[in-house]
Amino acid sequence: MSRPRTLAALATVPAAVAAAHILPAATWLPAVRAVLRPSLDGRGSADHIALTFDDGPDPRSTPHFLRELDRLGVRATFFLQGAAARRHPALVRRTAAEGHELAVHCWEHQPPWLPRPLADRADLERAMTAVRESAGSEPRWYRPPYGVLTATRWWAARRLGLQPVLWTAWGRDWQPDTDPDGVLSQLRDRLTGGATVLLHDSDRNSAPFSWRVTLAALPRLVDRCRAAGWTVGPLAEHGMPTVGRGHAAGRDSR
């Protein structure tokens, strides 16, 4: 849906409904997230960094990341787009076979602004099914497109037993005209022990060939983490409390 059509459609939604839908999306802002939903920040064990990638699988770029991660001896969490996972199941299976954790990003990268509870759940369920059938494992984590966790996306994730998690530090690696130094500079201020790092293994929703910048920055990022005494790995090893399937009311599984 184009931006003018989206704005026109949003104008027809009652103000109270629109506000209730959009308000949780304020957690996109780190300062708001720290107060309202600190668990979304992805804080884990102080001696660990969770390395995560969005927007794959992408046959043009993801294999390069798999090779580099293997060379570095690092495993990561990949937040997959369901439609892409359906198109490239062999790449999904390879990612899982090489020891990486698979999570759900979306079915396709849709704008989040309209309340669409049934459609959000249907899309998320389709994405979960694509990941499950390709990799043979049940995804645990969910990160919405743009990091915008609206009320309907939150509801859909919890009904399906997924735990939403955003990030602690990002490299803004999707932007045009960035370089490895820029990615590392963006990460620097919030890259502390226990952080969850957001990067992208595809330029599907980013500046063309931006993934090459991310790939070039990756070994320097891992070296920096190891020099600080932090291990680098997936969210499964991050020491975060998890919400199990069937805990849709928000009860912690511990």
Spell out the residues 6+ positions from residue 131 whose beta carbon is closer than 8 angstroms to its own: 80, 82, 85, 92, 102, 103, 104, 137, 139
- What is the residue type of 220? R
d(CA 231, CA 141): 20
Q: Which of 41, 54, 55, 123 is catalytic?
A: 54
| Cβ proximity of 241 and 254 under 8 Å | yes
Question: What is the per-residue pLDDT for 33?
Answer: 75
3-class DSSP assignment, residue 199: strand
Question: What is the per-residue pLDDT for 25?
Answer: 57
Question: What is the per-residue pLDDT for 115?
Answer: 65
Q: Which of 90, 163, 76 is nearest to 133 (CA)?
A: 90
Q: Which fold has domain 43-237?
A: TIM Barrel (3.20.20)
Q: Is the peptide bond prior to 89 cis by the omega test (within 30 degrees of 0)? A: no
d(CA 178, CA 137): 35
Question: What is the per-residue pLDDT for 112?
Answer: 62
Question: What is the per-residue pLDDT for 120?
Answer: 87
Question: What is the per-residue pLDDT for 247?
Answer: 38
Question: What is the per-residue pLDDT for 35?
Answer: 72
Question: What is the per-residue pLDDT for 233?
Answer: 98
Question: What is the per-residue pLDDT for 241?
Answer: 79
Q: Which of 200, 201, 203, 238 is catalytic?
A: 200
Question: What is the per-residue pLDDT for 21?
Answer: 47
200 is catalytic: yes
Burial track 156-192 (b if 16+ CB lie within 10 A, e otherwise): bbbebbbbbbbbbbbbbbbeeebebebbeebbeeebe
DSSP strand E in the chain: where?
A: 48-56, 77-81, 101-106, 141-142, 163-164, 169-170, 196-200, 231-233
| Cβ proximity of 242 and 163 under 8 Å | yes
| Per-residue pLDDT tens listing for the chain (254 residues) | 444 444 444 444 445 444 444 555 566 577 777 777 778 899 999 999 999 999 999 999 999 999 999 999 999 999 999 999 999 999 999 999 999 999 999 999 876 666 677 888 999 999 999 999 998 889 999 999 988 888 889 889 999 999 999 999 999 999 999 999 999 999 998 999 999 999 999 999 999 999 999 999 999 999 999 999 999 999 999 998 775 543 333 333 32
pTM (predicted TM-score):
0.86
